[in-house]
Amino acid sequence: MQKRLFLHTVLALSASAGLATAQTQAHAATPLKFQLDWRFEGPAAFFLQPVAKGYFKDAGLDVTVDAGSGSGGVVQRVASGAYDLGFADIAALMEFQANNPDMPNKPVAVMMVYNNTPASVMALKKSGIAKTADLTGKKLGAPVFDAGRRAFPLFAKANQVGTVQWTAMDPPLRETMLVRGDVDAITGFTFTSLLNLEARGIKAADVVVMPYADFGVKLYGNAIIASPKLIKENPAAIKAFLQAFAKGAKEVIANPGAAIAYVKERDGIVNTQLETRRLQLAIDTVVNSADARAEGFGQVVPTRLSLMASQVSDVYATKTRVNPAEVWNGSFLPSAAELNILPKK
């Protein structure tokens, strides 16, 4: 009887200790709010997969990932403290910093994900546009905040394109207006607009695509950005986030099809086949690009970043010159071995 009572007591104490440990671990998890640059589409798998597979949780983080509506909004919300981290075009971050020189809470980029800007000029072959020179005098369309539109002067200068006319529209209308012939060409992220055109009945073979990265415009694309508050108060959380992210990103690159399941979990109406193609296109063009393999995943080359800072200062007409040293902080990056995630082509 006493032995049975003893065993019950031990089991009860063990259960209580286990519960206490679980509660302590739950309370110890650092909550982090993360905002994407866009909707839950294929590339969002890079962030949704490590959440779903528990990689952030294993790193002691409780990460919440929300959809976004453009890089400009991400930068502003991270600056305001509404989000701890975000995914944004580094050009938008540069513009924000240079236009708000006296603001104390300016976000900083801590890991490069899109080594090249995904921006490109796209036209239908039937328009007669076959090369960059054919864009001169044509009507181009894009939302006013579109990264490709903002950086178009660099593309035009590099390719000797003359004056063009711009038509603004909301993002959902961009590809529709090109199909209807309301504009001759559009700017946009290749993996977004090209597949959106296909969804509107246009074959990829009938689209002329001029990626900025292939036409003399070597801008960096989207990076993970962090709030100065998080950098100051919990740098360890940033390091843990980037380590878990890199682990997940390696798996996403290796098996994009499987990763789309985690996007589907967040938005049940997504087209699995379409978003798998979108993710693969993003990987091939801006994540596992030749430049990314040469420079190393997650990293930047100071001279290239400085050139971009100068270019953004000029074409965005910022209030002050962009200071690349204030835009980038690579001290939180995982080890070289952990960043070695890009398969050779």
Structure tokens belonging to residue 160: 């000797």
Q: Read out DSSP for 120-174?
A: EEEEEGGGT--SGGGGTT-EEE--TT-HHHHTHHHHHHHHT----EEE---GGGH
pLDDT at residue 27, as a whole number? 57
What lies within 8 Å, CB to CB, of 258 at 6+ separation is 251
CATH 3.40.190.10 is the classification of domain 28-114+220-337: yes
pLDDT at residue 338, as a whole number? 97
- Residue among 169, 198, 230, 224 at smallest CA distance from 43: 224
Same fold, 28-114+220-337 and 117-212: yes
Q: Read out DSSP for 213-232?
A: GGTT-----EEEEE-HHHHH
What CATH class has 117-212?
alpha beta
pLDDT at residue 105, as a whole number? 83
Prediction pTM value: 0.90
Structure tokens belonging to residue 121: 């000029």
Whole-angstrom distance, CA of residue 261 vs CA of residue 297:
24
Ranges of each domain in the chain: 28-114+220-337, 117-212
pLDDT in tens, 289-318: 999 999 999 999 999 999 999 999 999 999
Give pLDDT < 70 ranges for the chain. 1-27
pLDDT at residue 164, as a whole number? 98
